[in-house]
Structure 1
Amino acid sequence: MAYKDYYDVLGVSRSASDADVKSAYRKLAKTYHPDKNAGDEKAAERFKEIGEAYAVLSDPEKRKLYDQYGHAGQVPPGAYPGGAGGFQGGDFGGFDPGQFSDFFQQMFGGRGGFAGAQGGFRNPSGQQVNIEDLLGGLGGAGQSRRFVQNVEGELQVTLEEAYSGSDEVINVDGKRLALRVPAGTRDGARLRLAGQGPGGGDVLLTIRVLEDARFELDGDHLTTTVDVPAPVAALGGDVKVRTLGGQIGHLSVPPGSSGGRRMRLRGQGWPRKDGSKGDLYVRLNLTVPGDLSEREKELYRQLRELRPG
C-alpha cells in the first residue's frame, strides 16, 4: 500500500508552523467536504486523506514520530516480534512501549478512523501484521499476553452536527461503536469510550468541528448573512432567517437599514452547558434584482433623480 506524504497532502512544508497546518487543513476540508461534493468519490477520498494528515501533523507528539519514522506502517526495526532486537517474552528490547502505542493510533473510518484499520500494519520486512497478533501474541512460546492499549483518533463533524448533537458510528479494530456527540460540542473537545479499545483499553476521540460557509462562531455567538431587497431595506419589513438548527425565524428590518448592518436574534446562538444559548447576529446584505421590469427601472430612475449622488 502506497502512502502519501502528509505534508504534501496538506500542501505545506515540513517546517510549517501549527497555525499554517491548521489553516491549510481548514481550507482543504471546506473545499472537499462531502456536503459540497455529494456522490464524488474522488473528493470523498481526498477529504479522508486531508483528515488523516491533519490528525498527525496537528499533534506535536504524533508529528515528531511521523517526522522520525514516517507512516505508522514504517515502524523502526525491532518494533515487531521476531525482528532484530524485537520483543522477547516480556523484554521490549529498549523500545519504549509508549512510543509503540502511537503506531496503533489510526483515523476512524468515514469522518474519522484509524489508519491501517483496513488491512492492519506491515513489519520492516513488508509482511502483513494483524493488530490482534500484535496485541495478543507478544508473549513467548506457549503463552499469550494481551496489552491493554488506549487508542486515539479524531472525529470530524459539521458545525450543524456539533450544534444540535449527532449520533455517530465508528470502526475500531473491526468493531463498530456507537457514540453520541453532545449538542454544543466545541472543536477540540475530547470523548472517551471506556474499555472499547484493543485489549480493553479506552478509545479517546478529539472532536474536530468543520467550518460552515453560512455561519461564523465566535464564543457563544453565531453570525450569518441574509439577503435583503433594497426596497425592504429602505422602507422596512420582515425577512426570513434560517438558524443553524434549521428553524426559520423572522427578522424585522427597520426602515433605512444599510448594507452590512448587524441585527441580533436573542437566544439563537451556541448552546451553553446551563441550557441557555448565545445570540445569533444577522448581517444585512442589500440586493437589487438583475432582471428589473421596465416599470421597476422607471421607478429607480425617479428615485435617482429625487436623491442624486
Structure 2
Amino acid sequence: MAYKDYYETLGVPRSASEGEIKSAYRKLAKQYHPDKNPGDDKSAERFKEIGEAYAVLNDAEKRKLYDTYGHAGEVPPGAYGGPGGVPGGADFGGFDPSQFSDFFQGLFGGRGGGARSGFSGFGGGQVSLEDLLGGSSGGIGGGRRFVQNVEGELQVSLQEAYQGSDETIQVEGRRITVHIPAGTRDGARLRLSGQGPGGGDVLLTVRVLEDARFELDGDDVTVSVDVPVYTAALGGPVRVETLKGPVQLNVPAGTSGGRRLRLKGQGWPRKGGGHGDLYARLTLTLPASLSDQEKELYRQLAELRK
C-alpha cells in the first residue's frame, strides 16, 4: 500500500524533534498559505499535505504508529482513525487541513477590520501568518478538535491604559470584551482562556500608544506647560494637562523657564496602590507678535535691568 512520507513533506529527518517539526510546519504553512497564493491550486494542495503531515508528526501517539507501520507501507486498518488506515484519508482527530483557509478567515473576521480598529492580529486587518503560526499549538489533531493558542496585539491610548478600559475585539466572528486594567504598561500580556480556536487561548500583547504631551518615567509623568513671561514674572495660574484631565497650577512669581513643579499623586498608578507624581516642566513663551506699546514696555524693563 502506498503511503505519504510525512517527514519528506515537511522536509525534516525522521529523528526530528518536536520543535524542529513545528518550526518546519510553520515555515511551510506560511509559504503555501492560500491567502499568499490566491488561485494557485498546487499551493492549496501542498498546504493541505503540510497540514496532514503535521497532524500526524506533531502527535506523539500518531507519530509512533506512523513510524512503526507507515514507513513499511503496511498501515493496519484504522491505525490512524481513518477509513482503511490510509494516512491520506485519515480523520486525524477531527482535523481537516483543507479547512485551514476558512478557519484563518473566520478567525480574523475577514479583511474588513474588526470591532476594535486598534486590534491587530485578529480583527484589525494587520494580521500576518507569522503572527498566527507563532502561537503555541495545543495540538493539531491531538484530540477530537483543533486546539490552537493564537496571539495578537491590542492598541490602547495612554489615557485608556492609565484609567483602564473595556475594549471589544472579534475572534472567529465572536465579539469579545477585553478589560484593560488601570495602570497597564506597554508590553503587558493578557490571556483570554478558552476563547481561541477549539478552546485554545487568545494571548494579547497590549501596545500603549505614545502621547506627545506626556513622558512616562516609572510611576512619574512629566508634561510640558507653556507659561507667559508675565505670569512667570508676577506669578499666577496656568492650565496643566494631566492624565485625569486639565487642572490649574499656581506658578510662583519669579519662575524661570525649565523649572519643574510637582503635582503629587497625579502620576501613573502604582502596583501596590496609589499613584506616582506628575511634574510640570515650565516653558516661557512670548506672544507671536507685540504691539508698539508692549515693545516699549519691554524696552523700559530692559533699561531697568541694566
Match in the other structure for 1:224: 223
Aligned to 2:262: 264
Residue 212 of structure 1 corresponds to 211
Q: Are residues 242 and 70 of structure 1, via their aligned partners in 2, closer, same or farther at CA, if it must alter by over 3 Å?
A: farther
Preserved contact between residue 123 and residue 169 of structure 2 (Cα < 8 Å): no
- The 3 A distance-change label for structure 1 pair 67 and 284 is farther
Of residues 80, 83, 94, the one that matches 2:48 is 83
For structure 1, the 5+ residue unaligned runs are 1-60, 123-134
State the Cα distance separating 1:83 from its structure 2 match. 3.5
Change in CA separation of 1:93 and 1:197 when aligned onto 2, cut-off 3 Å:
closer
From the superposition, tell whether residues 149 and 84 of structure 1 become closer, same or farther in structure 2 (CA, over 3 Å). closer
1:243 aligned residue: 242
Q: 1:71 & 1:257 partners in 2: Cα distance?
A: 66
Letter in 1 for 2:302: R
The Cα shift of 1:93 comes to: 7.8
Which segments of structure 1 move beyond 3 Å, counting only runs of 4 or more?
65-75, 77-86, 103-109, 115-118
Q: Is the Cα contact below 8 Å between 2:122 and 2:152 reproduced in 1? A: no
Which residue does 1:148 correspond to in 2? 147
Q: CA deviation at 1:289?
A: 0.9
Structure 2 match to 1:255: 253
Q: TM-score, normalization: structure 1?
A: 0.60
Q: For 1:292 and 1:117, how far apart are their aligned partners in 2? A: 50
Inter-partner Cα distance in structure 1 for 2:168 and 2:240: 32
Cα distance 1:210–1:167, how it changes in 2: closer, same or farther (>3 A)?
A: same
The alpha carbon displacement at 1:70 in A equals 5.9
Secondary structure in structure 1 of the residue aligned to 2:48: coil
Instruction: Give the AA of the match of 1:83.
Output: K
TM-score (norm 2): 0.61
SS at structure 2 position matched to 1:206:
strand
Instruction: State the AA in 1 paired with 2:118.
Output: R
Name the CA shift for 1:251/1:67 in 2 (closer, same or farther; >3 Å): farther
Q: CA deviation at 1:250?
A: 2.0
Deviation at 1:273, TM superposition (A): 2.4
Are residues 201 and 293 of structure 1, via their aligned partners in 2, closer, same or farther at CA, if it must alter by over 3 Å? Answer: same
Residues 277, 82 of structure 1: alpha-carbon distance in 2 compared, 3 angstrom cutoff: closer
Q: How far is the alpha carbon of 1:185 from its aligned partner?
A: 0.3
1:111 partner letter? G
CA shift in 2, pair 1:202/1:84, >3 Å: closer
Query: In 2 relative to 1, CA 181–93 (structure 1 residues): closer, same or farther, beyond 3 Å?
Result: closer
Distance apart, 1:92 and its partner CA: 3.7
The residue that corresponds to 1:302 in the other structure is 300
Aligned equivalents of 1:145 and 1:114: distance in 2? Answer: 26
* Distance (Å, rounded) in 2 between the aligned partners of 1:227 and 1:278: 23
**Secondary structure of the corresponding residue to residue 91 of structure 1:** helix
In structure 2, relative to structure 1, the CA distance for the partners of 1:111 and 1:67 (3 Å cut) is farther
Aligned length: 223
- What's 1:40 paired with? none
Tell me how far 1:146 sits from its aligned partner. Answer: 1.3
* Equivalent of 2:118 in 111, 116, 120: 111
- For the 8 Å contact 2:121–2:128, the answer to whether it is kept is no
Corresponding position of 2:195: 196
Larger Rg over CA atoms:
2
